[in-house]
Amino acid sequence: MPTKSTRLTFAVLATGAGVFSMLQSLIAPALPTVQHALNTSQSTVTWVMTAYLLSASVFTPILGRVGDLIGKKRTLVAVLVTVTLGCLLAALAPNIGVLIVARVVQGIGGALFPLSFGIIRDEFTAAEVGPSISNLSAVIAAGGGVGLVAAGPIVSALDYRWLFWLPVGVVAVTTLIALRYVPESPSRAEGRVSWLGAVLLSGWLVALLLPLSQAGQWGWGSARVIGLFAAAVLLFALWLLAEARSRTPLIDLRVMRLPAVWTTNTAALLFGAGMYAIWSFLPGFVQTPSSAGYGFGASVTAAGLLMLPMLLAMFCSGVLSGRLEPVLGAKKLLTTGAALGAVACAFLALWHDQQWQVAFAAGIFGLGIGLAFASMANLIVGSVPPEQTGAATGMNANIRTIGGSIGAAVTSVLVTGRLQSSGLPYGSGYTHGFTLLALLCLAAALAALLVPVQRAGRLSASARAEAHSARTETEPEAAVAPGTRS
């Protein structure tokens, strides 16, 4: 746990990251309300989610690297100011176009995750790092659940604009406290931002995620979808080439090839596919009228309450993982978390006729999310050089998001592939979708078994040697700042 001297810093980091995580899911249940209020189409209003996803995917690793280079506190404060302005713009948005722009601005807040992990690694004692990262991961995971639960009551009692007004005040106060009390990290990477790498990274991320999020409307066989996927492959290849040749790469590919990093990222990709798909489709399932042969006809608020066990479970297990990691190791926790996700999805595939069954499965999945989130972050932080923390954890978050987009897109095909005359999906579509998600989480657990064993977030001797080799080969003149820990 943080000591007295670091508690305020942790509170600032947790508040900022938690609010951003909440903004990811808070608006999703309110999209029909936004569509009606701003007099727009269903296809247009989905860009409120898509714009946020694309923006966060682009800025998370880039600003994570910027923080490594120019200072994590400085970058953190700038990002918090940007999120505040994005929320203010969204609350005042007179039309859907302005709201979409505001969501792009808010998406810059994705950098709060890697910056926060980096500050914890730089400023907290070795004994505090593991538990603090676990606790922060629990807050991040729970933030998404809070969004699902809180959206309905806020919209019903106030207005959808209060989904943005409330974060304005919270983030503004957090920014002032961060500016005054969060210390600047002493660990700095040498070099500069590789803008070619940043442009190519942004290009292939957008080219990949855009068709995944819009294929349901554009059609999987459409020229736009196929063309963007082809562009993603080409830009990804160019990005790999540019990063391999750069003396100061945006993402150090040698670090990304460390055994603990690539195996953790593989598990993140697969588990993210299951997690985001559950968040996207389970509320819709329980809101489906029972006349469809399944579902409970729940309101947005009632659907959020059914997700409450997931919220509570993910927070508790995330906090608990900080106490368990020194005993069991992050690898076992990640494997267990992914396995719990598989069990929950398998349960949903077999039993979903009663509300208690859905709530029970959601709680089991929440336990898995809390364990997996915390252990992924600790594995990455404990496996990379201090000056690569922001970029590496930002890329891990991005890979989890990419997995989520893939999982949501494939599940959408299964759920909406065949529709009843009423326009509602068949129950078998959800059953097939839950089965697929169980298999993805199981694959994530198997990938987690490949992670090299580490204890208490510390590098093994071989991993330290590989990380040092990666750092010195790419930045031969770089020196770790005094007082930093690896």
Q: Does the pLDDT of residue 198 top 60, yes or no?
A: yes
pLDDT digits (tens, 9 = 90+) for 64-74: 888 888 889 99
Mapped to the 3 state alphabet, what secondary structure does the chain carry? CCCHHHHHHHHHHHHHHHHHHHHHHHCHHHHHHHHHHCCCCHHHHCHHHHHHHHHHHHHHHHHHHHHHHHCHHHHHHHHHHHHHHHHHHHHHCCCHHHHHHHHHHHHHHHHHHHHHHHHHHHHCCHHHHHHHHHHHHHHHHHHHHHHHHHHHHHHHHCCCCHHHHHHHHHHHHHHHHHHHHCCCCCCCCCCCCCHHHHHHHHHHHHHHHHHHHHHHHHCCCCHHHHHHHHHHHHHHHHHHHHHHHCCCCCCCHHHHCCHHHHHHHHHHHHHHHHHHHHHHHHHHHHHCCHHHCCCCCCCHHHHHHHCHHHHHHHHHHHHHHHHHHHHHCHHHHHHHHHHHHHHHHHHHHHCCCCHHHHHHHHHHHHHHHHHHHHHHHHHHHCCCCHHHHHHHHHHHHHHHHHHHHHHHHHHHHHHHCCECCCCCECHHHHHHHHHHHHHHHHHHHHHHCCCCCCECCECCHHHHHHHHHHHHHHCCCCCCCCCCCC
Provide the pLDDT for residue 481.
36
Match 């919209």 to its residue by tokens. 155
pLDDT attached to residue 2: 60
Question: What is the chain's mean pLDDT, rounded?
Answer: 86
- Please check the confidence at residue 391 and state whether its pLDDT lies above 90: no
Average pLDDT over residues 257-283: 91
Instruction: Report pLDDT digits (tens) over 112-136.
Output: 989 999 999 888 888 888 889 988 9
Residue 300 in tokens: 């947005």
* Lowest mean pLDDT segment, chosen from 380-389, 400-409, 430-439, 466-475: 466-475
pLDDT score recorded for residue 185: 76
pLDDT one-digit tens code per residue, 346-382: 999 999 999 999 999 999 999 999 999 889 989 998 8
Dihedral in degrees, nearest 10, Cα atoms 109, 133, 136, 181 = -70
Model confidence at 485, pLDDT cuts 50, 70, 90, reads: very low
Residue with tokens 């997700």: 307
Query: Could you report the per-residue pLDDT of 211-223, keeping only the tens digit for each?
Result: 988 887 888 889 9
* Higher pLDDT pick, 419 / 2: 419
Answer yes or no: is pLDDT of 482 > 50: no
Q: What gap in Å lies between CA 412 and CA 423, rounded to an integer?
A: 14
Q: Confidence class of residue 476 from pLDDT cuts 50, 70 and 90?
A: very low
pLDDT band with cut points at 50, 70 and 90 for residue 283? confident
Is the per-residue pLDDT at 477 higher than 70?
no
Q: In Å, how far are 120, 189, 387 from 484, measured between CA atoms?
A: 11, 12, 9
pLDDT computed for residue 464 by the predictor: 45
